[in-house]
């Protein structure tokens, strides 16, 4: 498990906010009362100013609280950045892509605990979604290929949803002779996107029925993706948000990030 940044952000915001509130309600009035006594004794402005100076922890809390609060609101309820760590969504998303995740597309949730407080919309087939899988406490990103009530079948590397074959159109193969992978244009829920798959046939068809509150996820790099075919369905409460755009790309190594690959995610 990686660093729980949302929890750290919430705790940091809470701590700095409480310190600021404590200063406003108790510490500052005490300093002001003591300053009035010193002024009555003509102790001098420097002594009074030193007494009125905020403790270092209060000073830092007042400085950091607004920043932390704004970041918390933006990250928890509006948009969150996420970097693509693996090639499971190639060719749609490349390793090193920085994407923007819409946190309110599927409902407003409380940070850390993930409880939905405002229902807005539900994931639809074909959309690219960020979530926490059942087997690992990390962010994953895949494409929705099965929603509650669907029957999903994967046979000969073709998707069937509720016994309806999803349109596929051959695009190309690489390399042209003895290809390592084939490129197809696939349509799910009216969303067209490219997928990669190897040229070999599957050994047997697989089928799943999607219950209420669950979602079936697959990567666009179909034969190089750890997804619902292997670790199961994604629970509704583990949804993070909808991936909407690539805003930056960073190649491995010391290369600088660039914006030439910016695009909307389909």
Per-residue pLDDT tens over the stretch 12-49:
999 999 999 999 999 988 888 887 877 777 777 777 67
We report the CATH number of the domain holding residue 241 as: 2.10.109.10
Average pLDDT over residues 237-256: 90
Same domain? For 44 and 90 the reply is: no
Per-residue pLDDT tens over the stretch 118-174:
899 999 999 999 999 999 989 999 999 999 999 999 998 999 999 999 999 999 999
Same domain? For 197 and 93 the reply is: yes
Same domain? For 92 and 107 the reply is: yes
Q: Which helix (H) or strand (E) holds 155?
A: strand 151-155
According to the model, what pLDDT value does residue 2 have? 56
Same domain? For 69 and 44 the reply is: yes
Q: How confident is the model at residue 8 (pLDDT cuts 50, 70, 90)?
A: confident
Q: Is 255 a catalytic residue?
A: no
Whether residue 1 has pLDDT greater than 70: no
Q: Which pair of tokens denotes residue 223?
A: 């034969």
Q: Using the 8-state DSSP alphabet, how is residue 89 labeled?
A: T
Domain ends where: 77, 106, 124?
77
**Which among 61, 76, 88, 225 is annotated as catalytic?**
88
Domain ends where: 43, 77, 111?
77
Same domain? For 189 and 256 the reply is: yes
Same domain? For 202 and 110 the reply is: yes
Q: Which pair of tokens denotes residue 100?
A: 């923007």
**Residue 232 or residue 260, greater confidence:** 232
Same domain? For 69 and 175 the reply is: no
Provide φ and ψ at 236, rounded to 5°: -55, -35
What is the chain's mean pLDDT, rounded?
A: 90
How many domains, in total, are found in the chain? 2
Q: Is 88 a catalytic residue?
A: yes
Q: Where does residue 163 fall: left (phi above 0), alpha (psi -120 to 50 degrees), or beta otherwise?
A: left
According to the model, what pLDDT value does residue 185 have? 97
Q: How confident is the model at residue 3 (pLDDT cuts 50, 70, 90)?
A: low
Give pTM, 2 decimals.
0.83
Q: Residue 168 belongs to what domain range?
A: 84-264
**Which among 61, 76, 103, 142 is annotated as catalytic?**
142
Domain ends where: 77, 109, 131?
77
């Amino acid at each position: 498990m990686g660093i729980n940044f949302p929890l750290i952000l919430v705790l940091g915001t809470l701590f700095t906010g409480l310190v600021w509130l404590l200063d406003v309600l108790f510490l500052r009035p005490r300093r002001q009362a003591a300053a009035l006594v010193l002024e009555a004794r003509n102790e001098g402005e420097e002594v009074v100013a030193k007494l009125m100076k905020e403790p270092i922890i209060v000073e830092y809390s007042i400085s950091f609280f607004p920043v932390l609060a704004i970041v918390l609101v933006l990250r928890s309820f509006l948009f969150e950045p996420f970097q693509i760590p693996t090639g499971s969504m190639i060719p749609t998303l490349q390793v090193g892509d920085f994407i923007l995740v819409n946190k309110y597309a599927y409902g407003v949730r409380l940070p850390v605990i993930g409880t939905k407080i405002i229902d807005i919309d539900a994931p639809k087939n074909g959309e690219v979604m960020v979530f926490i899988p059942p087997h690992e406490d990390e962010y994953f990103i895949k494409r929705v290929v099965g929603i509650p009530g669907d029957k999903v079948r994967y046979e000969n590397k073709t998707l069937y949803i509720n016994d309806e074959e999803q349109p596929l159109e051959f695009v190309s193969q690489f390399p042209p002779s003895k290809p390592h992978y084939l490129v197809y244009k696939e349509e799910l829920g009216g969303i067209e996107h490219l997928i990669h798959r190897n040229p070999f046939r599957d050994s047997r068809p697989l089928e799943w029925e999607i219950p209420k509150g669950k979602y079936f996820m697959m990567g666009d790099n179909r034969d190089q993706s750890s997804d619902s075919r292997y670790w199961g369905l994604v629970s509704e409460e583990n949804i993070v948000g909808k991936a909407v755009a690539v805003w930056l790309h960073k190649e491995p190594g010391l290369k600088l990030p660039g914006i030439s690959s910016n695009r909307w995610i389909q």
